[in-house]
Amino acid sequence: MTPREALASPWLTVRVQIALGLFFVAAALPKLVDPPSFAHMIYNYRLVPGALVNLMALVMPWLELLAGLALVLGIWTRPSAGLVGALLLVFLAAISLNLARGNAIDCGCFNVAVANRTVDERLADMRLDVLRDLGMALLVGQIFWAKARGGAPAPAA
């Protein structure tokens, strides 16, 4: 088996789907438990009009949960991976823009509690968040690449 074949193998793709799906389910849960705190996090990004903050805070966690569950269960994997990829692009753009303008914020990715941290600590975490999201975007890329090569895995569940 060549490295290309190994990267597109159903064995790997199933595991990538499950890992990515679990990431998104884990990210959704704290936001579902406390929507007002997530709304606060979205507001802090200073990118979304105030009128849309609450709608985003309510819908985005459910989108993360449903897309994540679909990936884990192997249902509608292509559209789910597409939605996850789109969300990752939004997250990457939002964090990068705030990094570029020096607005130190809590990511709100896996935890929506306000943490009392210094500006430097927040900026350092934001850089790590960008790297983590890029890594997850690579996982999305693997899923699409494997599917394009015809290595569609059987449903995991």
Partner 1 sequence: MNLRRHLLEATTLVLLAIVCALVANALASRERKLALIGNYPDALKVPGAEPTPAASLASEGGATASSKSPFEEKRPGSHEKSAPKATAPAQASEARNFSSSPADLLKRFPPHNKPYVEISGDAAAWLVARGALVLDARRTRDYEQGHIAGARSFPVWEGDIDARVTALVGEGRDSAIPVVLYCSGGDCEDSHMLAQKLYGAGFNNLLVYRDGWPDWVRRGGMSATGPES
- Cβ 2 to partner 1, closest distance in Å? 27
- Cβ 58 to partner 1, closest distance in Å? 4
Query: In the complex with partner 1, which residue's Cβ is closer, 82 or 110?
Result: 82
- Cβ 55 to partner 1, closest distance in Å? 6
Which region, left, alpha or beta, applies to residue 83 given φ > 0 means left and ψ of -120 to 50 means alpha?
Answer: alpha
User: Which residue's entry shows tokens 């269960």?
Assistant: 73
Measure CA of the first residue to CA of the last residue in the chain; give whole Å: 26
Report angle CA 131, 132, 138 to the nearest 5 degrees: 90
Rounded to whole angstroms, what are the CA distances from 151 to 1, 67, 85, 111, 129? 14, 21, 19, 35, 30
Query: In the complex with partner 1, which residue's Cβ is closer, 3 or 50?
Result: 50
Query: In the complex with partner 1, which residue's Cβ is closer, 109 or 112?
Result: 112
Tokens of 118: 């210094």
Cβ 122 vs Cβ 104: under 8 Å: yes
Q: Let me know how long the chain is.
A: 157
- Cβ 50 to partner 1, closest distance in Å? 4
Query: In the complex with partner 1, which residue's Cβ is closer, 82 or 130?
Result: 82
Binding site residues, partner 1, CB under 8 A: 32-37, 39-40, 43, 50-55, 57-59, 61-63, 65-67, 70, 76, 78-80, 82-83, 114, 116
Q: How far apart, in whole angstroms, are the C-alpha atoms of residue 53 and residue 46?
A: 10
Query: In the complex with partner 1, which residue's Cβ is closer, 76 or 110?
Result: 76
